[in-house]
Amino acid sequence: MVRATGSVRSPVLLALPFDGRWLVQNSPARRVPSHGVDVLGQRYAIDFTGVDERGRTASQWGWGTLLSTEPPERFVGFGRPILAPVDGVVVSVHDGEPDHEARRSQLALVAYVAGQAGRLREGPAAVAGNHVIMRDRASQAFVALVHLQAGSLRVRPGDEVAVGEQLARCGNSGNSTQPHVHVQAMDSDDLRVARGLPIAFTAYRQWDPRGRGIRDVAVGIPDERAIVAPVPE
């Protein structure tokens, strides 16, 4: 286990870890702790779910959408490249967790939520699924990208990476109801003891969830239910 040296007072600045449009969920702009808990360094975590040009997370519907589960391949974000949000070094990776069936059905979600406590008891890998943890060169904080696609990781501990470099692909591993990427900054590379750190994103375009138009943001935290994408260069 490694702790970040000193105290990180300012938000850890991140680039969006993807191209294209993504829906913002569980944003710390809405509440803190953003996911309702402080465990596993999640206090300021944020989720992004891939969407198409019409804002849909999936273009297909079926009986599983209403009553059961669906294959993760049905979702727009599944398999999309996940990119390094900071310049730094990879400190740990985990692969081998399966990409399980997705759940939009309320019936399927009830049973899944009931099993969350059991997954937490199994340890970080059962919750985070396949993931990469990097050490940010600028802040010395640790940044985790979580719920990655099985077998898609391209990096190993010790690798130097730059902003925009592909690390893996978006998956549905761990404690995930549909394919998305979960991003968080922490003071430790050990999820069992890590404390979450505030984050902010740079150079993103936001489609307002209340229909108030589009704006480009230099530094900020995306709003809950907004759609975001990197500002075109």
Domain limits of the chain? 13-230
Q: How does strand 12-15 pair with strand 199-207?
A: parallel
pLDDT digits (tens, 9 = 90+) for 148-207: 999 999 999 999 999 999 999 999 999 898 999 999 999 999 999 999 999 999 999 999
pLDDT digits (tens, 9 = 90+) for 122-151: 778 888 999 999 999 999 999 999 999 999
CATH homologous superfamily for the domain 13-230: Glucose Permease (Domain IIA) (2.70.70.10)
- Supply the pLDDT for residue 59: 80
Q: Is the dihedral of CA 184, 80, 130, 88 positive or negative?
A: negative
Banded pLDDT at 209 (limits 50, 70, 90): confident
- Residue 119 three-state SS: helix
Report the C-alpha gap between 58 and 52 in whole angstroms: 8
pTM, to two decimals = 0.91
User: pLDDT higher for 118 or 37?
Assistant: 37
* Bridge partners of residue 12, in order along the sequence: 199
| CA nearest neighbour of 86 among 162, 20, 19, 151 | 162
Residue 115, pLDDT above cutoff 80: no
Tokens 């060169």 -> residue: 137
Q: What is the dihedral of CA 15, 145, 99, 230, to 10 degrees?
A: -10
- Supply the pLDDT for residue 233: 78
- Supply the pLDDT for residue 80: 98
Contact 177, 113 (CB under 8 A): no
Cβ atoms within 10 Å of 54's Cβ, excluding its own:
8
